[in-house]
Amino acid sequence: MSFFRLTIADDEVQKRTESYKNLMSMLYGFIIAFSVTAMSGFWYSLFPRSVNWNASQTVLVLHLAGGIMALFLFVVYFFLHQKDQQQRWWWLFVPWRLKQDKEEPLQHFRQRQLGHLLTWIMLVVFTSGLLIALPGLLFYSGYVWMQGYYTTQILRGVHFWASVLLVPVLITHMLWIARDRRVAT
């Protein structure tokens, strides 16, 4: 039962396979973790922390936990999705491989390009988030290390604006399949 029909499987036989069910489980888990992370992150960034400090810290912990879970699920889903799409994972680092095949429809090619962009934005968001959280995580492990003030501010800006860009790209990428089915019928 899928709300947006977030799948590339066309027939019922393919939908009953174990690999398809695993892929959908990872997708739905990622969507939940990403939604929690995005909402808590935007709340933490946009709501003044001086109103309720304890609630602000709770939201920050929720954001960190959701972000780590989203990162884990994203990595697993990425490799399952690449296997499902029969693409090599290292194509992420060679964008010139994103050429349209002769028999590939333009719609599918555009979705692959959008997925490539989405993966790079996700990598920027996750990397900047981990770098922002690194001093706090090191503190709890017994090490004290602080980044410079400007480094922290630049990382926070990159993390925030990449997240703002990520949301519409992710929604467009997911809903493109529904558009593809509507055009095909």
The token duo for 67 is: 């972000």
Residues near 47 by Cβ (< 8 Å), separated by ≥ 6?
Answer: 56
Q: What are the CA-CA distances from residue 65 to residues 62, 126, 158 (Å)?
A: 5, 12, 20
**pLDDT tens digits, 17-55:** 777 777 788 888 888 999 999 999 989 888 887 888 888
CATH number where 93 lies: 1.20.950
90-to-70, 81, 95 alpha-carbon distances in Å: 21, 13, 10
Give the chain's domain count: 1
* Domain assignment present for 4: no
Domain encompassing residue 134: 12-184
Show the low-confidence residues of the chain (pLDDT under 50).
Answer: 1-7
Domain presence at residue 5: no
Q: What is the pTM of this model?
A: 0.79
